[in-house]
Structure 1
Amino acid sequence: MDEFAFRRSVRYGTILVDIESRRPVDVLPDRTSDTLAAWLHDHPGVEVVCRDRASAYACAVKEAAPQAIEVADRRHLLHSLSLAVEKTCHEHRPCLQKYVERAQRAGPRMPAQEALPPTLIVGRVVRRHEEIDRMVDVGYPLSEIARCLGLDRKTVRRYRDTGFDALLASARDRRNIPLDRFKPYLQAEFAAGNTVATELYKQIRERGFRGG
């Protein structure tokens, strides 16, 4: 069921369509609750009603066909969704524009990333940079970002203030030669979820590591 205009802004009616056959069932002279309720009383057995959110139609269905399943009209849902998205984008236009301008200034980043081996440390740097960059763009303060990501504020500040290429270079240069023979163990522990540096350090010290 839906309304239509005999004469726009002057007179409206209601059209009833069989959903399965897609053929009109009846045309009512207005869009009032009483008229629709009377039609439903005269045609008992309605099982499903597809309607918009008009209060007149809702009242009529509840009164005259309370057993019917009410289904939201897909067209009106999509229309309402598009309006909500448009309104949200309009309200956050300065933030969206700032993000676009920042991305344009930063330029392409993939070549620098692809030049590095896909180690866990590099992956962590990339992931943290994306998360922190996104939250900074939205406007979160450093303390809130640190709390959400479980990081120290100094770490968040370094990711915010350091260029992406510099962060990747730092990940590449973190090499401790005496640590090499412990790397398979550390990689396995890290992949299993043990990412606490002090705990990992304690474990490899027990296994013979004497470096810093």
Structure 2
Amino acid sequence: MRPRETLTNSQDERLLPVRYACPDITRACDLAQAFADLVRHQRGYLLLEWVRQAEQDAPKPMRGFAGFLRQDLDAVTAGLTLRWSSGVVEGHVNRVKTLKRAMYGRASFELLRTRILAQS
């Protein structure tokens, strides 16, 4: 899913026959690269057009993904447009959940609390 211009010549040569052999893969790759570009460059204003294209002629899994995006289009557009992010908070939540899973059934709440605070 890297940008096409970052592929080496051998990677590009290996990808070309696959794209020729299966039009669905070609369309899925093109849409995925377009979506990655929207995310990388925060072009949320282009999301609705991407969703329409994906719903129109994409392979079934991509159409499903586009449908899920459409369900909460305003939030996804804001996430791809605004400079604010909850990424740091989500990272902390992930860290705490990982610790909880690792300690499940092994220790008390106090030990869990100590481990969480020690890693902060």
Q: TM-score, normalised by structure 1?
A: 0.19
Flag the structure with larger Rg.
1
- The structure richer in strand per residue is 1
Greater relative contact order: 1 or 2 (C-alpha under 8 angstroms, separation 6 or more)? 2
Q: TM-score, normalised by structure 2?
A: 0.29
- The structure richer in helix per residue is 2
